[in-house]
Amino acid sequence: MNKSKNIVALALMVSSIALLLVLQLFWLRDSYERAFFGLRRDTNFVFRNTLYAMRDSLYQSSFRAIGNDTLRNISPNNIQSITIFKQKIEGKPLKDSMVVTTKPATVQIVVSGKPVSSDSIINAIRPVTRQLRQSIEAGEKNFLLRLAPDTVSLDSLKVNFSLALERAGIPVKFTVQHQVTSPERFHMFRGRPDNNEPNDNSPRIYSDTIYLEGLRFNPVSRYNAAIFPIQSVIVKQIAPQILFSFFLTILTVIAFIILYRNVRAQQRLMELKNDFISNVTHELKTPVATVSVALEALKNFHALNDPKLTNEYLDIARNELNRLTLMTDKILKASVFENKGITIQKETVDLQNTVAQILDSMRLIFEKRQAKISFIPEGESFTIEGEHAHITNVIYNLLDNALKYSPAQPAIDITLKETIDEVVLSVKDAGLGIPGEYEKKIFEKFFRVPTGDIHNIKGYGLGLSYVAGVVKAHQGSIDVVSESGKGSTFIIHWPKRHA
């Protein structure tokens, strides 16, 4: 049941993360497209302004004062009409001319090259009227404006465009191209190529190059530009969105992992609690049942008339009640240790004498199990600082586990080794051993290595947890070396007491 619930929860978490990634992908795609069109708009603006500024400068340098009061008070809005005609001298065509009629005066302009439309000339005249007006106010009277072929040097355009991009903070490379096209393919009233002309400026959003809008000085002259690489520039622009998306995804994944691990931990605790309750119930029933049988024997079998038999039954009842007291005390101590921690009242403890005393107190148990005990101290001084009662309980728990998890006639080897800074205690048995996947879990509270029938071996899963807590409280460490079916070795490193 728990496994199916875990699969559903895991599937929901993975689906949520996948949907979050899809949402962020659409958001980042939209941010990229916005940045692309923004960059395209800005570079088009810079290119257009640069080219028009160079055109205006070219026009403004194309006129000079000639001494007739005809251009005073000219403004772009005063131009009323333009008439283009052929000039002839002695019957020979000279140059194309035009007459610009304004409200206060008429201006004659000589145009070199091919004839152009009136609209084009009006547009050419407008940028220079301000300078003309300023020159008139300075005292000049007559001006001659010569419009030569209106082309811009590509080298100058590249330099000015580069400076303009630098001022605009757009770090890209570019290419500039000048094209001469047939005027019949350009519609003046639309200001763009007709449908038969290929359009290279259509936006390619995920390309690394932006082709800017082509600009014309006249129907036959067109300037194109392309900027590259743009992807790195756009990525830098949307870097905050990318970082936000990255950290949001990481935090979400971490949160889901922590949540899932907490759920699994709660499930494991629930399983351990159920196992613990089952074990404790089984363990408590045994002494209670034994005491009940002893009392019933005293009552029903007239054991009170036999003092020896009475004392035997009473001893059995007393031993079982003492065992029951020890079990409840052990559970209560485990709860206190978990809530308040293990308090240590340090004193000098000789581990060699302590181990010897414990072996002597357990002699009857060893004889009953026909156990072979080997105790080998290697060194001279085995004194440490700690609380004698806790250290005694640690050694007793290790020996008790060695007996419980060993077959008939167990063999237990106990070794004490002295080093410069430590006293190393090892307890080795030839019992069931611990599978590798459980070696790190045996020190967890309530954990017991699965053995098929959990009631075959008595215990509550508290002993090794208590041992690890006591060793840690003494600034020591405990390790286990085990192989399933070949026994286990518990090794405790105690800090040595220096005189």
Torsion of the alpha carbons at 260, 265, 267 and 273, rounded to the nearest 10: -170
493 has a pLDDT exceeding 90: yes
Residue 126 pLDDT: 55
Q: How confident is the model at residue 94 (pLDDT cuts 50, 70, 90)?
A: very low
Q: Which pair of tokens denotes residue 82?
A: 């333009």
Residue 102 pLDDT: 47
492 has a pLDDT exceeding 90: yes
Residue 2 pLDDT: 67
Cα 226 to Cα 40: distance, rounded to the nearest angstrom: 10
417 has a pLDDT exceeding 90: yes
Q: Vertex 265, ends 259 and 271: CA angle to 5°? A: 140
Residue 46 pLDDT: 94
Question: Taking the model in full, what pTM does it have?
Answer: 0.51
Residue 302 pLDDT: 66
Mean pLDDT across the chain: 76
In the chain, what are the domains? Answer: 2-55+152-237 (no CATH), 63-147 (no CATH), 342-495 (3.30.565.10)
Q: Which pair of tokens denotes residue 279?
A: 């074990």
Q: Vertex 193, ends 190 and 199: CA angle to 5°? A: 135
Cβ count near 367 (within 10 Å): 9
**One-letter identity of residue 232:** S
Residue pair 115/80 in contact (Cβ under 8 Å)? The answer is: no
Contacts of 401 (CB under 8 A, 6+ apart): 463, 464
Cα 419 to Cα 66: distance, rounded to the nearest angstrom: 112
pLDDT tens digits, 330-361: 666 666 666 666 777 888 999 999 999 888 87
pLDDT tens digits, 267-314: 877 877 777 776 677 667 767 777 787 777 777 766 667 777 778 778
Sign of CA dihedral 443, 446, 450, 456: positive
Q: What percent of the chain has pLDDT over 70?
A: 67
